[in-house]
Amino acid sequence: METIVEVQDIHKAFGSLEVLKGASMPFEEGRITAIIGQSGTGKSVLIKTIIGVMDPDRGEVFFRGEEITTAPAERRREIRRNFGYLFQDSALFDSMSVYDNIAFPLVESLGMRDRKKIRAIVEEKLEWIGLPEVGRKMPAELSGGMRKRVGLARTLAARPEVLLFDEPTTGLDPVLAESINDLIVRVNEEFGITCILITHDIQATFRISNAIGFLYEGVIQEHGTPEELSRTSHPILRKFLTNSFADLGVAG
Ligand SMILES: Nc1ncnc2c1ncn2[C@@H]1O[C@H](COP(=O)(O)OP(=O)(O)OP(=O)(O)O)[C@@H](O)[C@H]1O
Ligand SMILES: [Mg+2]
């Protein structure tokens, strides 16, 4: 299994607040890898350094062995085209129809001009997310779960090699959350896209991920398969997992 993305010794501080203090972790190609950890530990910051919307103070980010943070701006832009991301709020353009939202990366990032081709791809993506009828709607007319699906369709249209999800299921009811988790698995299996996700849903993480990293005190304390993590002797991770699964016991 090839490593497609790797972070090494990432440091990031905001003023006197040291958030990342040497986080390192590989992400294998074609796999689903999750980062878990308490709220405010720097999971989103770590993801932002990977996609390049935030520069680390120190440390390296590799894409297929090539260091990104020190690459020339032009090259960074080029490499970044391999990444797609889905943020918590889906970040759709509110003044554009669903159709135009999905067509946007085709025109802007891939430079496509052939309207028939664009239409075919948009329709295919809408079909794929199970919402073939919503192309003419505006984002404000959609439910939270539908917006999330459309956000995924738009990201997929740009054909990323790596897809990053920041809290894809937070704020959704359990049934919707389940359907988004299913879509992540399908994105991974049907298109072979490497998925990196951050989530509070530990139960789902253990079900759908091939690998999991635990971020605590600015460092990835442990990473491995769900099975390896469930056998951890790391006291904080044990406690974190016990609490997460105990919540589940109460709820279900
Ligand atoms: N641009 C920024 N400026 C200043 N502080 C920031 C900035 N971005 C993040 N932080 C701080 O860094 C810390 C880590 O934030 P981050 O969003 O990565 O946490 P998180 O692990 O994703 O938490 P959650 O699970 O709640 O999403 C927080 O204390 C946050 O306030
Ligand atoms: Mg976050």
Give 124 Cα–ligand 2 centroid separation in angstroms: 31
Whether the per-residue pLDDT at 85 is higher than 70: the answer is yes
CA-closest residue to ligand 1 atom 28: 40
Ligand 2 centre from 85 Cα, in Å? 13
Record the pTM. Answer: 0.92
Span 189-209, average pLDDT? 94
Three-state DSSP at 40 gives coil
pLDDT value for 247: 64
Q: Which of 46, 80, 48 is nearest to 63 (CA)?
A: 80
Q: Tell me how crowded residue 66 is: count the other CB atoms within 10 A of its CB.
A: 10
Integer Cα distance of 41 and 189 in angstroms: 30
Q: Could you tell me the two tokens for 175?
A: 């049934």
How many CB atoms lie under 10 A from the CB of residue 182?
11
Q: What is the pLDDT of residues 10-64, one digit of tens each?
A: 999 999 999 999 999 999 999 999 999 999 999 999 999 999 889 999 999 999 9
Which of 35, 41, 87 best tests ligand 1's pocket when mutated (most atoms within 8 Å of CB)? Answer: 41
pLDDT at residue number 252: 35
What amino acid occupies position 112?
Answer: M
The dihedrals phi and psi of 172, each to the nearest 5 degrees, come to: -100, 150
The SS3 of residue 101 is: helix
Q: Where are the beta strands (DSSP E) in 173-234?
A: 194-198, 211-216, 219-224
